[in-house]
Amino acid sequence: MNEQVAAETSTGRAEMPVLGRRRVLAAAGLTAVGVVWAANSGTSQVARADTPGCGTPTPTPTPTPTGGTGTFRVPIDTVRHTRTWMAWPDSTAIWGSGGGRGGTSLAGIQANIALIANTIAKYEPVVMCANPASAAAAKKACNAANVTVISSIPVDDCWMRDSGPVFRTDGAGGLDAIGLNFNGWGNKQTHAKDAQVARLVAEYAGVAFTPAAGFCAEGGAIEADGAGTLMATRSSILDPARNGGMTQAQAEAAMCAAYGASKVIWFDGYIDSGDITRDHVDATSRFLEVGKGLVQQPNTKDVKDGWYNDEVNQYKVLAAATDAAGHAFAVTKIGGPDYNVIRSTNANFVGSYANYYVCNGAVISAQFGDAKADAAAKATLQSLFPGRVIEQLNIDSVGAGGGGIHCVTQPQPVP
């Protein structure tokens, strides 16, 4: 990231420094685990850590399903949903009252979460998990008729994509869920409540649940096409604080067993000292459907740093890859915003158009205040999802906190 001070232009207006892409989750609420953070070296080497993740796990057997007779696998996000699951943040230890994670505030992140929930609720039901003490505030903010706030599933933070269960279907009416052993992004944030969210959500939904998927990861770290192919970054999955001692082959076997897949497309990823996700794939690369993908590419004004190179490399890898059936991908590029134009001046800001959320009848995406890039992104998404409404939201507090709309949502697919 470029840390230079803003320079004065001839017009007298302060010219913002050219920023790199982003650091996905700024560190906050750290637990004392002795984690050694990697330096922002511009390489894709996996950081070492004093504390191991989940040891050397093995693939978890398929749980007893709820109904159905087929093979269970994680579907692509574009399938029809029964509901969307979200979580209401209320921790001042994490978000502060006026300048917490990413320089945003608890009020700011709560307003964004409510906006996302109320927007999704126009298209499908939303269940918001809130702590008992903040349930009333969540209900007041999430006031759409289609949002249900529950206080029986306590949470630490708002990142339901990472802490929530990963639902699976079998194509024959069956639905179950797996957990990914969420450990606070490698024990880098308080997560005693969030570690239980996957199991509790599955229980609330009334589906069979496997408490261990055979490895440690987060939902945002793995992208599935629903037909046997996964995408992930080595920097996240092979992080020693998540899966210490695992080889890539072992991790791939565990991932495929859990997701009902047979192939993983690996990106090197990138390690930045401010990114505790270790470069989640869902901020850059997404499956549109079987055989089709989308990869966000750097803005021409971006500094050619590690994040810039990561986006370029992810496109190159996916464009040259084949899926589980041996077919080549058609890959669409979506351009990133100009960090000198967007509203946020936070160097860690996540400006990811690729981190959209597909719900029933709509695509919920972000806009960052770069009118040109925002319009281009909306046009790209509309061309890719012609039968859905494209909603663009100002979620700058989520971006400043290190994520996007996909990061705070978890779909429950129709069986």
Q: List the catalytic residues.
A: 407
According to DSSP, residue 286 is labeled E
Backbone angles phi, psi at 127, to 5 degrees: -110, 120
Number of helices (H) and strands (E) in the chain: give both, helices first: 12, 18
Residue pair 256/230 in contact by the 8 Å Cβ criterion? yes
Residue pair 130/151 in contact by the 8 Å Cβ criterion? yes
Backbone angles phi, psi at 359, to 5 degrees: -120, -175
Q: What Å distances lie between residue 59 and 54, 73, 257, CA to CA?
A: 13, 14, 6
Residue pair 322/329 in contact by the 8 Å Cβ criterion? yes
Please state, in angstroms and rounded to a whole number, the distance separating the CA atoms of residues 175 and 206: 9
Residue pair 284/220 in contact by the 8 Å Cβ criterion? no
Residue pair 70/171 in contact by the 8 Å Cβ criterion? yes
Q: What Å distances lie between residue 131 and 142, 145, 151, 157, 354, CA to CA?
A: 14, 20, 5, 10, 30
